[in-house]
Amino acid sequence: MQSPREIIADLWTLAGGEPATLDAVTLTGEEPQLPSSFRVAAAAQASVAAAGLAAAQIWQLRSGQSQDVTVDMRHAVVECRSERYLRVDGKSPPPTWDVIAGVYKIGDGRYVRLHTNFPHHQAAVCKVLNCKPVRDEVQAALMGWEAEAFETAAYAAGGVVAMMRSHDEWSASPHARALAALPTITIEKIGEAAPKPWPAGDRPLAGVRALDLSRVIAAPVAGRTLAAHGADVLLISSPDLPAIPWLTIDTGRGKLTSFVDLRSEQGRGVLRDLLAAADIFSQGYRPRAIASLGFAPEDAARINPGIVYVSLSAYGHAGPWAERRGYDSLVQTTTGFNHAEGQAAGIDGPKELPAQMLDHATGYLMAFGAMMAKARQSCEGGSWHVRVSLAQTGRWLWNLGRVADGLKTADLQADAVSPFFEQVSSGFGPLRAVSHSAILSKTPARWERPAMPLGSHPPQWPGRHG
């Protein structure tokens, strides 16, 4: 199996990085760190380190100064579970899942997972099943279905569910075969533009403006990472969009947050004006949804030549499932992780990974891709499109190999994780939160802005210094 250093080297080369830059990286810690048959700790360390190294490279472009990047494996994997360690005014997170979310055995003996944390997704499932949102009623109704037929019907109704597949089943599917030809991360030039000069500043991304159109974990983690290196990150949301408050707090550190109604022409005009003055446009909505509003990658490149546009999808941009909604837990179920972990644990049924690793690793890979594209833009010019997906990150994680007896590893206890916490203020009260795990020797990562309730700021960019 590849070492963590070799994993990072592959990501770095894939994104066009200079091999000599890898000498700046120091990795500490050893596998395994969490109970899993998969290399979740190596994936955490590699994805965080790749993003940290990209920030260091940008600092060298801006200042001429090189610096060291150190990532501890335990700190990285703790950061990839940051939402579970967050405390707000001493309080623990509320229950993570909706009352009917989770795993069910279905009429044909297979398993399905329901993701119903947003009200419209719960309503869609209950409409298909013709039942109330009560777990026993959902279970009884599912006994009249075959798993794949229910999965198809629920998606058609606007729900998000997943049939558990083995990895072999998934790999034989038309969609998995389409994804097999794609790299873990894609960075493409999509237009011509002059190189943009770096604004004045004393941090890698100081003065760099990033629009963040995202919810839940993966894309919000990308924005949080850009903010950790000094970017002005403006999270765009709407009071009409459902959100998960605990995740909003955890991933909102370092960001400005504004409400813009993209259903109105006035709101779309506000976003166009923000985009025209941005450097990075990062979004985690389905391609057709964002394109229908006039903000496809090609639209963004016309509005602002030289933009770096970052797209997250659940299942990738090729193949029959390119438009399909999805979340980490569902992609784990669909692509074979839950089946494989269950087998490794000796249980009949699915077993989750010990972290939302597809989400978190994808978030760091998004930030990595955004910074690598921004660095290229500053040298070569052009408009750029970065694409990542939960399914491709899953394929990357799967291909890192398995950990023999990894499930016998004890989970991390309080004394093992407490060194990685920091106490900060926020618009929600005092927070205990996980600090950033990429340690840069000359430009330490930090969040200068506190997490604030959605919509706390006007939809405008702060002034640039210098």
CATH number of residue 73's parent domain: 3.40.50.10540
Q: Model-level pTM?
A: 0.97
CA dihedral 448, 450, 452, 455 (to 10 degrees): -10
Cα separation of 30 and 47, whole Å? 16
Greatest alpha-carbon span in the chain? 66
Domain, as residue range, for 292: 4-94+179-318+354-440
Kindly state whether residue 133 falls inside one of the protein's structural domains.
no
Kindly state whether residue 34 falls inside one of the protein's structural domains.
yes
| Angle (CA) 460 463 466, round 5° | 160
Kindly state whether residue 152 falls inside one of the protein's structural domains.
no
Q: How large is the average pLDDT for residues 289-302? A: 95
pLDDT of residue 465: 57
Q: How large is the average pLDDT for residues 219-245? A: 94
| Angle (CA) 115 346 352, round 5° | 25
| Angle (CA) 368 371 372, round 5° | 85
Kindly state whether residue 159 falls inside one of the protein's structural domains.
no
Kindly state whether residue 456 falls inside one of the protein's structural domains.
no
Q: How large is the average pLDDT for residues 417-439? A: 98
Kindly state whether residue 76 falls inside one of the protein's structural domains.
yes
Kindly state whether residue 122 falls inside one of the protein's structural domains.
no
Q: How large is the average pLDDT for residues 304-316? A: 97
Kindly state whether residue 117 falls inside one of the protein's structural domains.
no
Q: What percent of the chain stands above pLDDT 90?
A: 92
Chain centroid offset of residue 367 CA:
9
Q: Residue type for 380, please?
A: E
Q: Tell me the per-residue pLDDT of 355-387, one tens digit each, with 9 for 90 and over.
A: 999 999 999 999 999 999 999 999 999 999 999
Helix (H, G, I), strand (E, B) or coil at 403: coil
Q: Provide the number of structural domains found in the chain.
A: 1
pLDDT of residue 466: 46
Tokens of 220: 């919000």
Q: How large is the angle between the packed helices 328-335 and 390-399, nearest 10 degrees? A: 50
Other CB atoms within 10 Å distance of the CB of residue 268: 16
Other CB atoms within 10 Å distance of the CB of residue 448: 12
End-to-end CA distance of the chain: 48
**Conformational region of residue 307, where left means phi above 0, alpha means psi within -120 to 50, and beta covers everything else:** beta
Cα separation of 191 and 275, whole Å? 16
